[in-house]
Each structure stands twice: as C-alpha cells, then as structure tokens.
Amino acid sequence: MITKNEFISILEENKNQISPLLMEKADVIRRENYGESVYLRGLIEFTNYCKNNCYYCGIRAGNKKAKRYRLTREEILSCCAAGNALGFQTFVLQGGEDPWFSDREICEIVWTIKSRYPTSAVTLSIGEKSRESYQAYHNAGADRYLLRHETATEDHYKKLHPENMLLQNRKKCLYTLKEIGFQVGAGCMVGSPGQTLAHLAEDLCFLQELQPQMVGIGPFLPHIDTPFGKEKAGSLSLTLTMVALTRILLPKVLLPSTTALGTLTPEGRKLGLKCGANVVMPNLSPPEHRKDYTLYNNKLCTGNEAAEAVQSLCEEIKMTGYLPDFSRGDSKMEKFI
C-alpha cells in the first residue's frame, strides 16, 4: 500500500522528466504480467451528441459549433465487419451521453455484435447510467466498460463539471459496474485546469482502492470552443509518470497508450508503451466522421491512429520492442482468467 504523501513525492521527483528507473520498473512489471503483448482494440466513436456539459470536452452539449453525427446500427455493424476483417477481437463503442440510444438499442447492437463475432469482446464507454441499464448491457453480452473518474477529488471535480454532475455518482457507477461483473476501466486526465500533484496522488489512491481492470490516462488538451479553450495542455513527463505508477500499483491492469498522449507529442504513443502501457485503440469509425469526434484540438485520427493503417501500427509496436497481439486480451486479474 503506497500512501498519498509517497505518491506526491514520486510525482514531484518526476514532474519535469520521468526517471529512467521508474520507466524500467513499470516495464519490468508489465513484462512479468503480460509479456511483450500490446493488445489492439478497434474504437468506434458512434455518436458525438452529448447531454453533458463537461467544461473541458469539445463535444459538450454547449458547444454549438460541434458538427454532430450519430451512426446508425447498420453503420456500427459495418465498422465491426471492417474491424473483424482487419483482425480486431475487441470492439470499443464510445460516445457522448446520447439519449437517442435507448438501452434497448444499445442491447440489440451489443447482442448482434456478440452473435456475429462470438469470440470477440465488446467494451462500452457511454457514461453514467442506472444499475438496471448496466445490468441490461451486461446481460446482452457486453464484457467491459470504460468510465474514467476524471479526478478523484470533490472540489477539483466541481471545477471541471457543472453542478448537476457529481463525483459521488461517477464513483458509484464504477463500483456498480464491478459488482455486475464487467471488466471496468477508470482513469483521469493529467494537467486539467486547477489540478495539483495532491489531486493526482488522490487519483492513484482511488485506483488503489477501486482495483479496476483497465485504466485510461491521458493529458488534458484544450479545445478552443470550450470554457477551457485557453488553458495549457497537460505535461508529457507527468502523464508518463502517472502511466508508470499505475502499472506499478496495478500490475495486471490493461493500460492504453492513449490517443491524447499521441496527440501531445509525436513520440507519445511509443513512450506510453515504454512506461507500462499495453493497449492501443486505433480508430475504426467511418473516416468521414472521425474529425467530428473532436474532444480537444488537433485530435489524431489519421496515420497510425487509423485502423486501416494497422500494419504500420504493428511495425511501430515492434520497433518499440513489443509484439502486436490481436487476441481478446482480457484482464489477467483472477476473476477474468
């Protein structure tokens, strides 16, 4: 058990430049638990309509400049067919909180994907829902659920979200998802406005307590048409430090090297892998919509970020010293082996 103060001192020591020792420790632990595998997931960003108004996010309801789209069921299934042909065995369905997609619609989509590709896993990332909704998605066959907690400190959460959004509810959702039996992903942004090292240490303490199977960590990046449009981006060294500490804290965690990290700096994805990350999620959405899922400025959606370029991404992974792995890549935490 690492204490909050210990986390703060490690973050302080590494905030300007991550120490090679910390990177190496994370890499050794990742190799002990997952070998050289880097799991590939196909990401389908199926709607950018959102009823929420998170101050940092480009697809917030209040951004009237966002060009909105939602994929039809058939379009989502075509993305899966394309992904299946490319070899993907996990489909991650992510979107804004879009009430147009009823629970019934989500369940039918999940059920159809699972019946067409029975050996594949389906991950949902569609925000805060009731226990009944989560249970219905799980009954329909969904395997995993991503719901970043964003920040584990009450007053900081309030700085990032309007009053109707509550950290308490977000945390409750995460525990409910775990109880239902999902492989659960939490996570946070690094460098979001008003964040201190103590807040990041609190995020690590929360992860230590929750014991999620997956953790998504990326830098905060500003989006021009949001209230935080003029804030500065999160730092590379602190993001990498958080990734490495998460690997050390949760040796069996599935940890993506995120698109935001790749957007922050061209070497970001490779550096993430060297700091303990073992998942990448190239974009399988229809190319004509990719630029409209703009959570932050300049979000990568071309080059090795595009699922069609998977061969080139595999080369990049090999050159970084790891092995691309197209298997389902379930969590190795006891319950899911």
For residues 147-206, which are near ligand SAM according to CB under 6 A? 147-148, 150, 189
Concatenate the DSSP letters of all residues of 125-176 into one string. Answer: E-----HHHHHHHHHHT--EEE---B-S-HHHHHHHS-TT--HHHHHHHHHH
Given candidates 49, 70, 86, 97, which one binds ligand SAM under the rule CB under 6 A? 97
Interface segment toward ligand SAM; rule CB under 6 A; list 54-62, 206-214, 238-246, 302-310 = 54-62
Least distance (Å) from ligand SAM to the CB of residue 1?
Answer: 26
The whole-angstrom separation of Cα 222 and Cα 95 is: 19
Structure tokens at 65: 């400049």
Element (H, E) at 177: helix 167-180
Given candidates 156, 223, 270, 274, which one binds ligand SAM under the rule CB under 6 A? 223
3-state secondary structure of 323: strand
Given candidates 260, 280, 307, 333, which one binds ligand SAM under the rule CB under 6 A? 260
Interface segment toward ligand SAM; rule CB under 6 A; list 63-71, 177-185, 217-225, 320-328 = 217-225
Residue 30 phi/psi, 5-degree rounding, is: -65, -40
Residue 220 phi/psi, 5-degree rounding, is: -70, 135
Residue 176 phi/psi, 5-degree rounding, is: -60, -45
Interface segment toward ligand SAM; rule CB under 6 A; list 14-22, 52-60, 264-272, 273-281 = 52-60
Question: Per CB under 6 A, does 261 bind ligand SAM?
Answer: no
The whole-angstrom separation of Cα 184 and Cα 147 is: 8
Question: Per CB under 6 A, does 292 bind ligand SAM?
Answer: no
Least distance (Å) from ligand SAM to the CB of residue 303?
Answer: 19
C-alpha 114: how far from its chain's center?
21
Question: Per CB under 6 A, does 71 bind ligand SAM?
Answer: no
Burial of 40 (0-12, 13-18, 19+ CB in 10 A): buried
Given candidates 22, 71, 90, 96, which one binds ligand SAM under the rule CB under 6 A? 96
Least distance (Å) from ligand SAM to the CB of residue 315?
Answer: 27
Of 182, 142, 246, 205, nearest to 1 by C-alpha is 205
Please identify, using beta-carbon distances, which residue of 110 and 295 lies nearer to ligand SAM. Answer: 295
Least distance (Å) from ligand SAM to the CB of residue 117?
Answer: 22
Given candidates 10, 11, 57, 253, which one binds ligand SAM under the rule CB under 6 A? 57
Question: Which residues of the shown chain bind ligand SAM in the complex (CB under 6 A)?
Answer: 56-57, 59, 94, 96-97, 125-127, 147-148, 150, 189, 218, 220-221, 223, 260, 295-296
